[in-house]
Structure 1
Amino acid sequence: MSSPIQSRVGQVFVPVRDMAAAIRWYAALLGFEPGAASHEGTIYDVPTDGETRLALDANRPSFDASGPPRFFLWTDDMTATVAHLRSLGVPVTSDVEDIGSVVFVQFEDPDGNALMVCQRA
C-alpha cells in the first residue's frame, strides 16, 4: 500500500503560555542564544540539529499539558544531563530508567509539558 504522506516528522510543536519565559527556559536547557518569536510573538523555532524541527507555540494558551512525553531529545551523557536539569531547577519526574535499548529520564517544562531525554544503551 502506498500513501502520498511521507513517514518523516517535519516539526514538533510544544504548547506554551508565556512565550518569552519559554524561550529563556528552552535556551538554558538546550544551550542556545534566545531570539525573537515570529508570527506576532506566537511561534518560536528552537534551533535543532537534524531534519526534525521544534517550535514553541503560544497560539492556544489554555491547553492541557497532561499525558506522556510526545517526543524525546538525545544525549550522550545521562549523568551530565541529570546534573544539568537539577542545576536549572527543572522538575525531574522519573528516575533514570534503563529499558535495554535506551536509558531515559523524564522531566517537565514550566508549562507542565512532559519531556524526555534518552541515551542509547
Structure 2
Amino acid sequence: MKPIIYNRVDTIFIHVSNLKESVRWYSKLFGLEFKESDYKGPIHTIDMGPGRPGLTLDNHCFDEEYKFMPSNQPLFNLSTDDINIAYKLVKDMGAEIVTEIETFPNLADFTFKDPNGNIIMICTCFT
C-alpha cells in the first residue's frame, strides 16, 4: 500500500519576528554569504544540504491574527565536529547561551537563543 503521508521531513519552520535580520543571522551562523538581492520574503528557506530538510524562516507577515512566541525548548539540533569552536562562534555572535556545554559518554551539546528567542541546540557525537 502506498503511504498517504511520507516518512520524511521536508522543511523545519522557525518562526521569526524580523525575517531579513533572521536570514542575515542564520547565514552568518552557517558561514553562508548573505546577499540583499537573494532575500525575497515572505519566507526564506536555507538549503541544509543534499537529502536534508530545509530550514524555513517565516515571519507570518500575511497573517494578521498571528502572535509571535519563541520556542522555550530546542526546536532542532545542529551538528558540529568541534563543540568548543561552535560554542565560541555562537558566543561571539552575541547569542544568549541557555545551557553550557554538557558532555556525555557519546555526545556533547549546548543550547542558545537565536535573535528571536528560539532555542537551538548544537551537538557533536563521539565515535
TM-score w.r.t. length of structure 1 = 0.87
Choose between structure 1 and 2: higher strand proportion. Answer: 2
- Answering whether residue 84 of structure 2 is matched by residue 75 of structure 1, we say no
RMSD across aligned C-alpha pairs, in angstroms? Answer: 1.9
Deviation at 1:49, TM superposition (A): 1.7
The CA distance in 2 between the partners of 1:114 and 1:50, in whole Å, is 25
**Count of matched residue positions in the alignment of Structure 1 and Structure 2:** 119
Answer yes or no: is 1:27 the counterpart of 2:27. Answer: yes
Distance 1:104 1:50 in 2: 24
Aligned equivalents of 2:95, 2:121: Cα separation in 1? 12
Q: d(CA) in 1 for partners of 2:116 and 2:32?
A: 20
CA distance in 2, matches of 1:75, 1:50: 17
Equivalence for 1:102: 107
Q: Mark the runs of 5 or more structure 1 residues left unpaired by the alignment.
A: none
Task: Tell me which residue corresponds to 2:13.
Answer: 13
Q: TM-score, normalised by structure 2?
A: 0.83
Alpha-carbon distance in 2 for matches of 1:106, 1:46: 20
**Any gaps of 5 or more consecutive residues in structure 2?**
none
**Are 1:62 and 2:67 matched, yes or no?**
yes
